[in-house]
Amino acid sequence: MDIDRLERFWIMISIAVLAALMLAIVYSVRGFGVEVPTDVGQVDPRTARETEPFNQPGVRQVGPGHYEVVMLAEAWRFEPSEVRVPAGSTVTFRLTSLDVIHGFRIPNTNVNLMVQPGQVVEATHRFNEPGTYHLFCHEYCGAGHHIMDGMLIVER
């Protein structure tokens, strides 16, 4: 067999594999609703507790069936640690950290954020099914990292 033909064959195989991988990534992003978090704003972590909206963490209804959950992350807790919304709600989570880098994840949803001190991040998800959703920190934040969690309760 001609060496040039063999080389061209393997180059084409390599291009086909790369194209298939790119298509798989595009499909998974579109098919599973992956969203890249964007920079929503900045806040001074030392004065975040006195700065809107973080001076009143909790749940607010911002429209029909739409809620905003404002949360603070600090070693080793989320404030508030328990959130309640009705089923069928669209919930926007808005967070910042007061001390170190934390994570914020709700399994089986598209909510997966890295929460940096002073950086305001947000993610939105619709909760159709009633139930209890566990939320937790997925970035190692110190000795108490394993106890940093909370609950989202979707009520009927």
Token couple for 7? 């080389």
Q: Are residues 127 and 109 in the same domain?
A: yes
Q: Are residues 22 and 90 in the same domain?
A: no
- Domain encompassing residue 11: 1-34
Q: Are residues 116 and 138 in the same domain?
A: yes
Residue 28 has a pLDDT of: 83
28 and 20 Cβ atoms separated by less than 8 Å = no
Residue 104 has a pLDDT of: 96
Q: Are residues 61 and 13 in the same domain?
A: no
Nearest to 53 by CA among 2, 6, 96, 23: 96
**CA angle, residues 106, 156, 104, in degrees to nearest 5:** 10
Helices in the chain by DSSP H: which ranges? 3-31
The full DSSP string for 123-152 is: EEEEE-S-EEEEEE--S--STTGGG-EEEE
Q: Are residues 29 and 55 in the same domain?
A: no
Sign of CA pseudo-dihedral 139, 142, 144, 146:
positive
User: How many distinct structural domains can be found in the chain?
Assistant: 2
Q: Are residues 23 and 83 in the same domain?
A: no
In a 10 Å sphere around its CB, with 0-12 CB exposed, 13-18 middle and 19+ buried, how is residue 112 labelled?
A: middle
CATH code of the domain covering residue 68: 2.60.40.420
Q: Are residues 12 and 52 in the same domain?
A: no
DSSP state of 67: E
User: pLDDT by residue for the chain (156 residues), tens digit each?
Assistant: 688 889 999 999 999 999 999 999 888 888 776 666 667 889 999 999 999 999 999 999 999 999 999 999 999 999 999 999 999 999 999 999 999 999 999 999 989 999 999 999 999 999 999 999 999 999 999 999 999 999 999 998
Number of H helices, E strands in the chain: 1, 11
